Each structure stands twice: as structure tokens, then as C-alpha cells.
Amino acid sequence: MDNGDHVIILNCKDVILTGKKLDQKIYRHHSGYIGGMKETPARVMMDKNPEKAMMLAVKGMLPHNSLGRQMLKKVRIYAGSEHENIAQKPEKWEF
């Protein structure tokens, strides 16, 4: 059930992957052309684009249907602590 809450994730550049995930985990996508499989190791993905790595992690945890796509639109991810959602007065939750 989607209650309409938006989620803001900050400091995703500081994420720590346990074990050998930085060297063994590979992100794959296909360009659509023959032989167009692209592979990016987790170490490179975290250095270049940590927001995308976090978005893919969150996307994998959501349901793979229209509700999950709707929920993913309400996730905002930022590499640093600065974000542009100050006007919405977000509340900080500590885990």
C-alpha cells in the first residue's frame, strides 16, 4: 500500500559494503545492440555514481509491479548531506 510518503536518502557516498562486494559485485545493463552487455564493478559505481547504486538497491527491495514503480518515484537520493527538499520540512529518523 502506497501511503504517499516520500523518502530522502542522504550521504549515500559513505555506504560501506561488507565482505568482498566492492570487487565481486557487478552491475550489468544491456544497450539493446548485439554484444551490448555493459558491466560495471561496484567499486567503480560507488566512485562515479553512488546515487545510482543506491537507487538500484532500493529498486530491488520494492515489489516488481506498477505499485513498486509508483513507490520508486517518491525516493530522493543524494550523495552528500545537502539536498533541495528543505522547503518540504523533512523529518529526520534515526535507526
pTM to 2 decimal places: 0.84
Q: CA distances (Å), 25 to each of 11, 12, 28, 47, 48, in order?
A: 21, 17, 10, 14, 15
- Burial annotation 30-58 (CB, 10 A radius, 16+ → b, else e): eeeeeeeeeebebeebbeebbeebbbeee
What pLDDT, in 10s, does the model give residues 37-53?
Answer: 999 999 999 999 999 99
What pLDDT, in 10s, does the model give residues 1-21?
Answer: 788 888 889 999 999 999 999
